């Protein structure tokens, strides 16, 4: 609807804005932010497909007690290392005669949680750190960011392995280690977003109109900080699916006999020449799920970027 087609109105000399009539009000109403985001995201078919896959995997893992055909910890020694397609065992059996499909489904629980929980916890902590450092600036900023800089100096994988190793085996320790390693990275993203938004004109505008600092913080800065963190976080989950499995592979993660995809790869190491599927299958699962999170992260970024939206 072209503006030029509206009937021209006489402007009052003192420049006071006229109240809009119904037609003009209709023209200026915008759909909500959620709608815009959803429409943009759903246009990216690859991202939607990846999200669906993640959803299915999560669902399957959640329903593991129901879906899993066999007990993942009990082995049938007569059929050890049975190949893929063995009747009754779609993906074969591992070195201890345990059904691989069942272990895969149950393993999803651990592998997904090792990735999702630390990212979530680290994100919450990081957003707080980043907001505080970015918003208050000065000494607070320096102390927080310099401390984080020290952690940045470590190669991330090395630090995760070292902390997990020092703390000892166990799922909680692995997650703690990962969380610690993640905080500097996510904090930096939150910090940069806060600093950028803070310097934007509309924050000055809010200040000038008398908004309280807490209002500015929650109403303006927080929402603009959350989106980059969410995008970054979803990419991180993909990376962590792989890293978490790596830690388990090294024996630093959960304790057997609970399965997860990393331990499954490690279990198959001794049988590589005769039964490579024992290690190969969980790896393929890892690749698929990590890729999906990566793709979803890209999709989120494109959908949330105001410049890319039509």
Partner 1 sequence: MLKFLVYRVATIVPVLFGVSVVVFLMMKLIPGDPAEAILGPAATTEKIEMVRKSLGLDQPFYVQYVRWLWKVVQGDFGTSIAVNVPVAQLVWPKFWNTVLLTAGSLVICIVIGLGVGIVSGTRQYSWFDRISMSLTLIVANTPAFWLGLILMVVLALYLGWFPATGMYSMRASQKTFGDLIHHMVLPAITTASVSAAIIARLVRSSFLDVIRKHYITALRAKGLSERDIILRHGMKNALPPIINIVGLQVGYLMGGALFTEVVFSWPGIGLQIYSSIVARDLPVVQAAVLVTTFVFVLVNLGTDVVVAALDPRIRRA
Q: Which residues neighbour 227 within 8 Å (Cβ) at sequence distance 6 or greater?
A: 193, 304
Decide: is 272 part of the binding site for partner 1 (CB under 8 A): yes
User: Which of the ranges 33-41, 91-99, 129-137, 278-286 carries the binding residues for partner 1, by CB under 8 A?
Assistant: 278-286
Residues 183-222 that bind partner 1 (CB under 8 A): none
Structure tokens at 215: 């209002």
Closest to partner 1 by CB, 163 or 197:
163
b/e string for 225-252 if b means 16 or more Cβ within 10 A?
Answer: bbbbbebbbbbbbbbbbbbbbbbbbeeb
Closest to partner 1 by CB, 75 or 282:
282
- Count Cβ atoms below 10 Å from residue 14 Cβ, excluding itself: 5
Q: How far is the CB of 123 from partner 1 (least distance, A)?
A: 21
SS3 content of the chain, % helix, strand, coil (to 5): 70, 0, 25
Closest to partner 1 by CB, 216 or 278:
278
- Mark residues 285-304: x for contact with partner 1 by CB under 8 A, - for none: -xx--xx--xx---------
Find how far residue 231's CA is from the centre of its chain.
7
Closest to partner 1 by CB, 70 or 232:
232
SS3 of 93, please?
strand
Decide: is 265 part of the binding site for partner 1 (CB under 8 A): yes
Q: Choose which of 107, 233, 246, 259 interacts with partner 1 (CB under 8 A).
A: 246
Torsion sign, CA atoms 221, 224, 226, 228:
negative
Give the angle subtended at the CA of 163 by the CAs of 158 and 169, to the nearest 5°: 115
Q: Choose which of 269, 270, 308, 309 interacts with partner 1 (CB under 8 A).
A: 269
Residues 123-182 that bind partner 1 (CB under 8 A): 146-147, 149-151, 153-159, 161-163, 165-168
* Residues found near partner 1 in the complex (CB under 8 A): 146-147, 149-151, 153-159, 161-163, 165-168, 238, 242, 245-246, 249-252, 262, 265, 268-269, 272-273, 276, 279-280, 283, 286-287, 290-291, 294-295
């Amino acid at each position: 609807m072209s503006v030029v087609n509206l009937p021209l109105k006489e402007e009052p000399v003192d420049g006071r804005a006229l109240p809009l009539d119904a037609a003009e009000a209709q023209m200026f109403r915008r759909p909500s932010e959620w709608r815009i985001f959803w429409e943009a995201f759903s246009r990216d078919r690859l991202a939607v497909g990846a999200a669906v896959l993640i959803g299915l995997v999560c669902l399957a893992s959640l329903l593991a007690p129901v879906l899993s055909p066999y007990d993942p910890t009990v082995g049938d020694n007569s059929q050890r290392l049975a190949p893929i397609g063995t009747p009754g065992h779609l993906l074969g059996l591992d070195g201890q005669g345990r059904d691989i499909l069942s272990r895969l489904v149950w393993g999803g629980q651990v592998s997904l949680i090792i990735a999702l929980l630390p990212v979530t916890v680290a994100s919450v902590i990081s957003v707080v750190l980043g907001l505080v450092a970015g918003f208050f600036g000065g000494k607070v900023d320096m102390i927080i960011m310099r401390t984080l800089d020290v952690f940045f100096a470590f190669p991330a994988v090395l630090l995760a392995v070292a902390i997990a190793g020092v703390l000892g085996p166990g799922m909680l320790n692995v997650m703690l280690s990962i969380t610690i390693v993640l905080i500097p990275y996510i904090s930096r993203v939150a910090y940069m977003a806060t600093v950028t938004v803070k310097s934007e004109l509309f924050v000055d505008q809010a200040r000038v109109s008398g908004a309280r600092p807490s209002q500015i913080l929650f109403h303006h800065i927080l929402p603009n900080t959350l989106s980059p963190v969410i995008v970054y976080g979803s990419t991180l989950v993909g990376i962590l699916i792989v890293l978490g499995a790596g830690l388990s592979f090294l024996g630093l993660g959960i304790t057997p006999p609970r399965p997860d995809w990393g331990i499954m790869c490690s279990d198959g190491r001794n049988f590589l020449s005769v039964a490579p599927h024992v290690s190969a299958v969980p790896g393929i699962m890892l690749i698929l799920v990590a890729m999906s999170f990566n793709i979803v992260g890209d999709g989120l970024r494109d959908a949330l970027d105001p410049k890319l939206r039509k």
